Amino acid sequence: MNGKRMKLCVIDDIKSVADMITTRIPWEEHGIEAAGSALDGDEGLELVLRVEPDIVLSDIRMPRMDGLEMTSRILAVLPHCKVIILSAYTDFAYAQQAIRLGAFDFVKKPFSVKEITDIVLKARDARLEEMQERAHVQAMEQKMRDSLPVLRQEYFHLLMHHSTDIPSAARWEFLQLDLEPRNFAVLIAEIDHLSEKYRDMPVQEMELVRFSLQNIMEETVAGFTKGIIFRESMNRYVVVINCRDDAEALTVAEACCVNIATYTKFTISIGTGLYAAGVGELPRSYTQALKALSYHFYTGGNGALGFGALTREREPVPEAFSAREQDLLFALRSGNKDKCIPLLEGMLDSLTAGAGVLPAPEYVESLCCELASKLFRVLLELFPHDQLPTFEARLETIKSAGPVSFQRLRELLLEFAREGCERVEGSRRLESRRIILEAMSYIRSHLHLDLSLEHCARQFNFSPGYFSNLFKKESGMSFQHFVIQEKMEKAKAMLLSDHQVQEIARELGYEHRRYFSEVFKKYTGHTPSEFREANL
């Protein structure tokens, strides 16, 4: 129990209970000191604040302050304190509430000496475990502060960016470098998706994470060869190892990736440079490692890539992009999502299709940003700029995405195109609805005419077939049915206003009274005269 003696306070308004717990159990044998007892809530809180115990046993029902309030007030000041509630069976709901407030556990009355002893020892062990975990964290923090002195990191940063002669043995020894001054390879490791997934992690916690990952890599490298690791940025490490060839460097890198993924919730991507015989070749190996790392743009991370596999590059065929580009923009302009999305997917697939090494990531990023700008310009042709703040923000996200994966860039582009099509289609639906509402208004205002489909379609510059389909789609009924409905409803109103049938027929565009009467009876089931008689 690492020599730490826990303090215990007992609070119960029955003195015999408090005395029994504090005196009848040999707490000293368990590394616990009975630090005092109290008979009511106020007195108990004062005792706890004065003694600052590790464990408190408290009755839930007491005068002056009940166990619930006292639990809340204790934990507000001493969050590490383990509060154990003593409750009768009838107070079980209160005990549960105390647990929700942060109490450690509860014991139902009546209880035995063994039950009390067991629960207190359980609390003691929990408290000890917390203290040990805290001590472990503090030890890691201290190790973090003591590791990788600034001078060592600055020296290797200089070696990565400036070619130099063989270093002086005095400086190598002064920095206590566990590394031979020859036969190197440079590895550059990057924490995957750090800014995307963990931006809200507290700074101190993130610092511990970075230290832990570095520690795992150091132990992994040590299992193969000598090496040194230093941080280059928030999520990037530079690893310099002694090795015999490129294959050995890639093996070490792959082992680092596997161990990080196995022992943490994080993953890393590593690029490896080619073998460097001496210190003067380190900048070349560093640049190669950086280039290899950039190709994780295609993999999404959690792996190692060697520069040797990238020595033969091919240029992507721009025609594979441009040949479909106009069709893509037209599909967006028409709001045809079913055509637009497959076209865009095919264009993006063409960037990574074919034999040979994948194109340079920066080239693909440039193409994707340019395509996103063209998609946005199509929307600007259709909508005022002030109606597109969401799409402008999405465009900026794509342009400023930084070192994201090709998969993520693909998702952003597809999302932009999908929502763009939906916006265009939605606007067209609103426009279609507006036109048909205008058509309905026109029909109601011109019931005295012979309202044919061709006549009305001409008023709105549509072909009869297109107008008929659009009218049915937006109104839910055929054009002819709507015209008859409006005329017959007006005829009903005129009949009830004592207009003559001949007058009504003429008003509604019917040349012959008899034909009007036939249409009216078919619509209402009554002749005009029968309808008037039935409703007056």
Tens-digit pLDDT string for the chain (536 aa): 455 789 999 998 889 888 999 988 999 999 999 999 999 888 989 999 999 999 999 888 887 787 788 888 899 999 999 999 888 766 667 777 878 888 898 888 888 889 999 999 999 999 999 888 988 888 876 664 565 467 778 888 888 888 776 666 666 776 778 888 889 999 999 988 877 667 777 888 888 888 899 999 999 999 999 998 988 888 889 999 999 999 999 999 999 999 999 998 889 999 999 999 888 889 999 999 988 888 888 887 888 988 887 755 555 555 666 778 888 888 888 888 888 899 888 888 887 776 566 777 888 888 888 888 888 888 888 888 888 888 888 888 877 766 677 888 888 889 989 988 888 888 777 777 888 888 888 888 888 888 888 988 888 888 888 888 888 887 888 989 988 988 888 888 888 888 888 888 888 888 888 888 888 888 888 888 888 888 86
Neighbours of 495 (CB within 10 A): 22
Give the separation between CA 7 and CA 49, rounded to whole angstroms: 12
The two tokens of residue 238 are: 């530079």
CA dist 329 and 324 (Å) reads: 9
Q: Which residue has tokens 């490692």?
A: 289
Burial class (CB in 10 A: 0-12, 13-18, 19+), 527: middle
What whole-number distance in Å separates Cα of residue 219 and Cα of residue 224?
9
3-state helix, strand, coil in the chain (%, to 5): 65, 10, 25
Give the Cα separation of 238 and 214 in Å (integer): 10
Provide the 10 A C-beta neighbour count for residue 154: 11
Q: What is the pLDDT of residue 443?
A: 87
Tokens 């969401």 correspond to 390
